[in-house]
Structures are given as C-alpha cells and as structure tokens.
Amino acid sequence: MRLVILCLCFSASLTQAQVDSAFFRKVFNEALENGQAYARLGELCKTIGSRLSGSPQAEKAVAWGKQMLSTYGFDSVYLQPVMVPRWERSKTESLVFSSTIFNAAIKGEKLQDYNCEAFEELPLKPAKQHRIPAVALGGSVGTKGKLQAGIVSVHSDAQMDSLGKAGALKGKMVLLNRPFPETYLNTFKAYGACVGQRVNGASKAAAYGAVAVLVRSMSNRCDLHAHTGVMIYDDKQPKIPAMAVATAVANLLDKLIQQDPGLQLTMQLGCQTLPDAPSANVVAETRGSKYPKSIIAFGGHFDSWDQGEGAHDDGAGCMHAFEALRLLKSIGYQPRHTLRCVWWMNEENGLRGATEYAAVAGKTNEKHVAALESDRGGFTPRGFGVDSAFLPKALKYKALLDANGIGEIEKGGGGADIGPIRKINPNAVLVGFIPDSQRYFDVHHSETDVFESVNKRELHLGAAAVAVMIVILDQELD
Amino acid sequence: MRLVILCLCFSASLTQAQVDSAFFRKVFNEALENGQAYARLGELCKTIGSRLSGSPQAEKAVAWGKQMLSTYGFDSVYLQPVMVPRWERSKTESLVFSSTIFNAAIKGEKLQDYNCEAFEELPLKPAKQHRIPAVALGGSVGTKGKLQAGIVSVHSDAQMDSLGKAGALKGKMVLLNRPFPETYLNTFKAYGACVGQRVNGASKAAAYGAVAVLVRSMSNRCDLHAHTGVMIYDDKQPKIPAMAVATAVANLLDKLIQQDPGLQLTMQLGCQTLPDAPSANVVAETRGSKYPKSIIAFGGHFDSWDQGEGAHDDGAGCMHAFEALRLLKSIGYQPRHTLRCVWWMNEENGLRGATEYAAVAGKTNEKHVAALESDRGGFTPRGFGVDSAFLPKALKYKALLDANGIGEIEKGGGGADIGPIRKINPNAVLVGFIPDSQRYFDVHHSETDVFESVNKRELHLGAAAVAVMIVILDQELD
C-alpha cells in the first residue's frame, strides 16, 4: 500500500500546487527581480501615450500589445474585435475670463492663498484675459464658436435646485464645485461622493437654463491640472458643453465670483462625436491542465483618456495582468483552469469591450469560474475585494497574504469590466485588486498620469499580488 | 449605590479617554481635514531647504521651528543647545572620465541599455571628458587638487579581499558596486544589506592601497541621481576620498571597465571638516494631567543631508510629531503623561542631539515611559515596530489599527534618536513608526528628496497614526 500512496501523492503534486509561504516567495521574488511590467508600461506610455477609444493611438496600442504579448510564448495571443465610440477633443479648446476687479484682487497673492499647499505658481499676472487650466469632459458637445456668459458657483445638488428654481442659472455657466470629502481613508469613496456632478451635472444645469457647466476636477489635490472624464447627457434636456477646471481654479473662481458678480467667461470647444470605429480587446492565455474550458479572466482596460499617458489608469492594470500570467509561467506553475489575461477596450466611455467580451463568451458557452479586475492604479498593493461567497476560501490564506502586505480582504469584488461576466456566469467569483489609494486621484484622467508617476517596485508588487490571488482562485475553485 | 457608580464613571472619564473607533475617527478626520503638517513641511523645504548639521540653513531651520511651534499654543516650546560636527561640501566637487573606447561604445545606446527603465536621458554624447553624476560622501576628506587613477569594480567584500590581496587595488579608485537585493519587501532590509560598503568601504579599500572609492548609490532605482550619506574612517588606515555615484553610472562603469581596462577617472573634492558648531534640539510639550513628570517623547531628526530638501528624511518625521501634538490638543485630548515632540539635531552624521537629549534627561532625573521615532519618510502608514514587552498591550488595539490601515505591528521598536533614552530609562517602551517603504530609497539623501515627492494625504495619515499610538502608550503605561 505504501508505494501506491506515494504514487498518488506524486501524481497530485503535478496538478495541485502547494500554495504556501515558499510558493508566495517564488512569485514575489520573480516579480521583484525579473519583473517586466514596468519596462513594458514605459514602452506603452512613451512610444504611444494616451489611447482614447477609436483614436489612432488606441489602434497603435492594440497592435503593440498583440506583438509584445506574442514574444512571451503564451499558449495563445489574439484580438477580439469590437466597435467603439469615438469622441475627439479639438486642439483649440479654451476657457478664458476677464474681470474688472481680478487684477486688483490677485495682487501679491499666491496659489497657497487658495487653500493650496501645492507650491505651484498660479499664473496670477495682471492681464486683459486669463486662460484657465480646463479641459472638455469626454462626451461634451462643442460650443459652435465662442460662448460667453456670466458664472454661478454651486456646492451641492440642493443648492443647484434652489438657485435653478429661482431662475438664477438661466443663461449662465454653472461651476459645479463640490470638493472631495477628505475624511474617507479610501479615496475612491470620495470620488464616488462627487463624480455624479461630472457625469450628470450638465443636463441637470441645462434643465434650469444654464448654457454650459464647469466641473471641479475630481481630485484630492489642490493644483493647476484639470482632470477630464466621462459625462452623459439626458436626452430630454438641451446638450450644453462641459469642461473640467483645475481644483485651484475652482477655488479661485469661487472667490472672484463673490468679489465680481459680473464676471464673464468665454468658452471655445470644438470637440465632437464621430462615427463608431473598429477596435479590439487584447487577450493572452495559458491553457488549464485540468479544466481547459473553464476560465479565470483577469485584466484591466487598455483605453485611456486623452490626457497624460494612461499610466496608472489603466496601463498599470493591464501590465499587472500580463505580468501575472508571465510570472506564473516563468516559475513553472501549471494552472488547473485556463488563465486569461484580457485588456478590455473602451472602459472609459462606453464599456463596449467588456460587453462584447461577455457576449462572445455567452455565445460560445465559455464558463468563467472567476474574474479579477485591476483598475485602481499601480500603487503598493494592500489587498482585494472578494465576493461574499468566496470570502471564507480567500481568508484561509489570510496569514500568507498578511505576511506579504496584501491581507486587507474586504467584501465586494465588482469592477466595470468584469461586471458583464456575471450576467453569463452568475456563479463566477468576482475579485477587485486593491492598491493604496492615496495618490490615485492626484493623477487620474489628467496630464500628470504619466509613466514617471509609477514606481517600479510598487507596480511589480501589485503584479505579484494579482498572481497569487489568481492561484488561490485556481486552486480553490472547481 | 447607583449614584456613586455613576459619579466614579464620570470622574474616570476626565482622565481616561475612551480609545475606540469614534476616537480614532476624530483623530484621523482632524488630520485629513485640517492637517497642518504638509503646509509647514512646504515652508521648511521651500524657504530653508536642506539643513546639514552646523550649516547656516540648519540654524535658520532651528529658529523657524521654534517660532512656528510657538504659534500653536503648546504648554512650552524651547531649544536644547548642543554642539554639532560640521562637515562641508565644496562647490567644485567633480568626477570625470575620459576613455578611448567610450565614444564608440555608447553609440546609439540609451539609459535603458544599462538595466534602467527610468527613461531618463544619460548624457551619452561623444566628448573628450564625461562628467559623472556623483557627490562626496559625508565625512570624506578632499583630494588636495586633482586625483587621477585607474578604476576597479568590486561587487562584494570577498571580491575586494581577493583583489586586494592580489595587489590589484593598489593605486586605484575602487567602485563599491553591490546593488540592493530587490527581493526584500521592506526596502530598509536591502539598505541594511548594502550600507556597510558606504560607511566602511573607504578604509577597507585604503588598507589594500586604493587611492579613492566610488560607492554605488544606496537606492532601488536605476537613475542618474547620486545619493550621499555618512562614511566613517578607520583611524588605522590612510584617509582616502569617497564619492557616491548614481546607480545608472555604476552599471555603465562596470561595462566600460570590461571594454577598457585602462579607463582613468579624475576626482576633485574640496570638502572638509570644520570645528564643531553650536546648534539645538527643538522641543514642544503638552503637560500631563496625571503624571506631568513622566514623559512620552516622539519625533524625528531636524538635520538633513545637503542634497534635496530633506523632505522625507526627515522633515516628514518632524512634521508627524508636531502634527500629532497639534491634533491631540485640537481635539481636546487630555494626556496623562507629558507629551513631548522633539526634533533631534544631527542624526545623520553624529547623533549629538539625541545623545545630549538623553544626557540632559539623565541629569535632571526625567523619567521617560516611552519614545517613538519617525524616520522612514512621509509615506502611507502601515504600522509600528514595538518593544516585545509592550506588544501584548499594543495588540489589544489591533482591530482598530487594522480598520485604519495601520495594523502591521511587529516586534522591535528601535531608532537612532530614541536609542540613547533606553540607557537612562531601561524600561522605556520604544516604538518605531512604519510607513510604506517602497519609494523611500528613490529619494533618500539625494537631490530628489524634495517637497514635491511628499503627498499631503499620506503625510497626514502618518501623523494621525503617530497620534493614536501616542494615545495608546499614554493610556496603557503608568
């Protein structure tokens, strides 16, 4: 009997990996010593840069991604075609103001006087016209020439309703100026508390007769960088143009409006929505040894806003997924399920890639046992959001996760790109990767989301974290 | 009886704070909404900048610190005089090389070819002489004119011994080129594994007849910034000059030496050690209500190296301590022990401030029940290193600490500046503040340790973490 038992053990070891501290070390060491994610992210950011859906850069990125992934010897690398919306910013967009009292008001003042400790210089020089750091929100209509109007600032929906009902917004630009609440430890909660004014604020203001909106940038930082992002029109209201203004400027405008209620702003926006364009999700796979037709999908979104280089949002998430696949292959891990790295297209303004991905999986009767999304930047990993049903299984690994600094396991594993998978496989376990969130909204959707804002070790630790969670899913699910 | 019990409870609540989740929230909210640390750090960094012991800037900083702390209404703010060593860099320091094959070797090469993904530009242009990003190590002697020599690279002590015994180091400059091991999750362990070559390498090389040393910068990053730091001579050996070279340059030199064994470098260093200078520790206190003569000291070091602005090292630690004192006062916390924020002078190259601090406390029979040091930068807090004896008491708060992201409690609460306190109060509980370490050695002791590398929320979260740990010490100790 003894011989038989030994044989069984040996056979089991081929398919069932021992997920212990030595295994964790192997994964983390490979990531920290030989990680490829940072160098590949640098290529993506520096040779292609931003990649808004439907843009020529997005198509370059898709070609680069397929070619790059093909050099790592995965079982298969392919594109999954999808039509995407195409919104385009004009080169001429601008927001300027002239104020009779502004030149006097700013005399000797510094950015710090506007609740900013960023120690950047506001261009507070007396001038006839002042150009404001502002960018069109994604999806906005243009202005058809120059649009000049007075401005009203509101700090809450209730204030907008009250001013709107009093007729005070008619013919005005409205500054939607609700700042991030700073007391949440998780900055995504602050974003959640404010992003509504960006997404739906224009139509709400239009309902009260406003002619345009300026939205305070979605950021914890007080500085001069405008942060764009998606906005959506309510078809029942007139479509009015919408721009994001830097947080420091939002503070400044509040002050100026008090001093000069006659303040006029002039907006010029040539942005437009073009016909849908062909694009693709980028996929790389390692076939499962036991359940080749059962899939664990993991990834991020490959499109980005057209500001900066889409480094943290979401080049980092794409590289986490690629690197996780690479390093599991590199240490010789034999997955039981098929591991699939997916770079979804068009998360930012349409979710077409994720929708198509799930539709194709539904048509081909693919079974997803789990899906993991990384779309919170390339910062030091802290843990995971995990579906309640899988929580007890994940917590079996709590001590190992804690020892590697990634033991913050919370309920709730959603994510925009993996959400549609739930519709075709209701039992699929959804997991969200959670890195440190403190710096994310410093750079999110702005010109500062560049490669230089990513730290190599933080990115590679994130990839290692994603890899060990994939292994936990692979081992615990059948 | 019931009335009596109620009275007792009420009386207890005056001195014994309820350290629960509501108390934690109060501390964190005050730090995140009204934190002063970031703005004060900005002033220190931007109006004074670096502040090496004995320098005019260090004295300006001391005056600024006393004045600034005096505006917050603490029970007392004072300076504690101490004489400090004074080492001074010369303006003319330089390290250049000429190589017959270099111009051919670098043709078309980029920084990335030297294992760097930093995407900075190396000045790899053909030239007669190439100036290397290098800075004198603190404490180094000068070169007395120009020092020209060939160069040998060593990657370990064993290799130095073997080459030295074979006579290969005689008359040479020695490049001490042992890189950070990347596999430690805690980058301070990597520093610990390498810093010996910086501190003691010159005298070891001098024993084998070397004429100067170049030390690979103590950093995880591959880039063009040189990182200084203290070096100490063994009086039995000739004192030879020592410089730190940027990590990318250390890699480049390794390659060039292989291609051109005749490579010559020319060093010019005018640095010198001047007579000791008067300086001071800066102190601010809130008196204890129950044990006014028992002290909980907490702080960081106020001196910095002369590169950058001493923002993370250790302006951040000083601001953590000040802010912790401020916010406990601001929320109305009544400490049982006297809380003392101390900015120790001269941690970097002498520890005179900490030594004098303990000596004065010894002479005046002050009793320290605890001391906490923050000298690991202003990054997102993760937890604390705590003396074994206090560990069980600290772990009573584990759930609260975890809920605020600061639950990584480990054994061992040392720190250079609080070490001497142990000598006068052997039972004093020592605690080290532990923030995320991934980016610390990107900036440590280099020109990149500037205010812009500090994130406001990360800094303020650190201050809140320090504050709650002080309260735990204050409540748990008698």
Does the pTM exceed 0.90? Answer: yes
Distance CA B408, CA A396 (A): 19
Distinct helix (H) and strand (E) counts, chain B: 15, 16
pLDDT for res B255:
82
Q: Find how far residue B130's CA is from the centre of its chain.
A: 31
pLDDT in tens, B331-374: 999 999 999 999 999 999 999 999 999 999 999 999 999 999 99
Closest CA to A291 of A353, A339, A344: A339
Q: Give pLDDT < 70 ranges for chain A.
A: 1-16, 99-128
Mind listing the pLDDT tens digit for each residue in B303-334? 999 999 999 999 999 999 999 999 999 999 99
Q: Judged by CB atoms within 8 Å, which residues 361-390 of B form the interface with A? A: 380, 382
3-state secondary structure of B100: coil
For residue B8, the model assigns a pLDDT of: 40
What residues does each domain of chain B span? 16-87+275-476, 94-270
First-to-last C-alpha distance (Å) of chain A: 29
Query: What pLDDT score does A106 carry?
Result: 53
Least CB–CB distance from B457: residue in A438, A458, A461: A438
Phi, psi (deg, nearest 5) at residue A20: -125, -170
Among B24, B34, B46, B119, pick the best mutation site for testing chain A contact (most A Cβ within 10 A).
B119
B438 touches chain A (CB under 8 A): yes
How confident is the model over B122-177, as pLDDT tens digits? 555 556 677 888 999 999 999 999 999 999 999 999 999 999 999 999 999 999 99
Local confidence band at B105 (pLDDT 50, 70, 90 cut-offs):
low
pLDDT of residue B158: 97
Q: How far apart are CA A323 and CA A315, in angstroms?
A: 12
Tokens of A24: 């964790």
- Coarse DSSP helix, strand, coil percentages of chain A, rounded to the nearest 5 percent: 40, 25, 40
Quick one: which of A326, A300, A384, A296 has its CA closest to A39? Answer: A326
Interface check for A109 against chain B (CB to CB < 8 A): the answer is: no
Amino acid A262: pLDDT: 85
- Which pLDDT score, from 0 to 100, does residue B273 have? 96
- Closest approach of A33 to chain B, Cα-based (Å): 6
Give tens-digit pLDDT for A384-394.
999 999 999 99
Chain-chain contact of B451 with A119 (C-beta, under 8 angstroms): yes
| Amino acid B373: pLDDT | 98
Peptide bond into A314 cis (omega under 30): yes
pLDDT of residue A190: 98
Which among A185, A219, A406 is the top mutation candidate for probing chain B, defined by the most B β-carbons within 10 Å of its own β-carbon? A185
DSSP A314-362: IIHHHHHHHHHHHHHHHTT---SEEEEEEEES-TTTT-HHHHHHHHHHH
Structure-derived torsion over alpha carbons of residues B447, B449, B452, B458, reported in degrees to the nearest 10: 170
Common-topology check for domains A18-88+275-476 and A94-270: no
Give which of A370, A269, A331 is closest to A17, Cα–Cα. Answer: A331
- What's residue B152's pLDDT? 97
Residue A414: per-residue pLDDT:
81
CATH no. of A94-270: 3.50.30.30
Confidence check: pLDDT of B17 > 50? yes
Q: How confident is the model at residue B9 (pLDDT cuts 50, 70, 90)?
A: very low
Please tell me the predicted confidence (pLDDT) of residue B159: 98
Spatial contact of A315 and A148, defined as CB atoms under 8 Å apart: no
Residue B410 C-alpha, separation from nearest chain A C-alpha, in angstroms:
11
Question: How many Cβ contacts (< 8 angstroms) between chains A and B?
Answer: 77
Q: What is the pLDDT of residue A396?
A: 97
Tokens of A363: 């048509």
* The pLDDT of residue B223 is above 90: no
Q: What fold, for A18-88+275-476?
A: Aminopeptidase (3.40.630)
How far B156 CA sits from the closest chain A CA (Å)?
Answer: 19
B16-87+275-476, which class in CATH? alpha beta
Strand ranges for A8-103 from DSSP E: 76-88, 94-98
The fraction of chain B above a pLDDT of 90, given in percent, is 83
d(CA B342, CA B19): 24
Interchain CB distance below 8 Å, A452 and B119: yes
Report the complex ipTM.
0.94
- pLDDT of residue B119 exceeding 70, the answer is no
C-alpha closest to that of A54 among A103, A102, A88: A88
Residue B41: partners with Cβ closer than 8 Å, 6 or more residues away: B311, B315, B316, B319, B378, B451, B454, B459
Nearest CB to A117: which of B38, B183, B408? Answer: B38
SS3 at position A382:
strand
CA-to-CA distance for A326 and B75, rounded, in angstroms?
59
Contact present, A74 and A335 (Cβ < 8 Å): no
Q: Are A124 and A109 in contact (CB under 8 A)?
A: yes
CA count, 13 A, side-chain hemisphere, B143: 23
As to burial, measured by CB atoms within 10 angstroms (0-12 exposed, 13-18 middle, 19+ buried), residue B262 is: exposed
Check: CB of residue A210 under 8 Å from CB of residue A174. yes
Using a CB–CB cutoff of 8 Å, tell me whether B34 touches chain A.
Answer: no
Residue with tokens 């909210």: B29
Residues B228, B92 contacting (CB under 8 angstroms): no
Q: Which of A48, A113, A119, A398 to mutate to test the interface with B (most CBs of B within 10 A)?
A: A119
B455/A185 Cβ within 8 A: no
What whole-number distance in Å separates Cα of residue B138 and Cα of residue A253?
A: 49
Q: Give the alpha-carbon dihedral of A453, A455, A460, A461, to 10 degrees.
A: -110
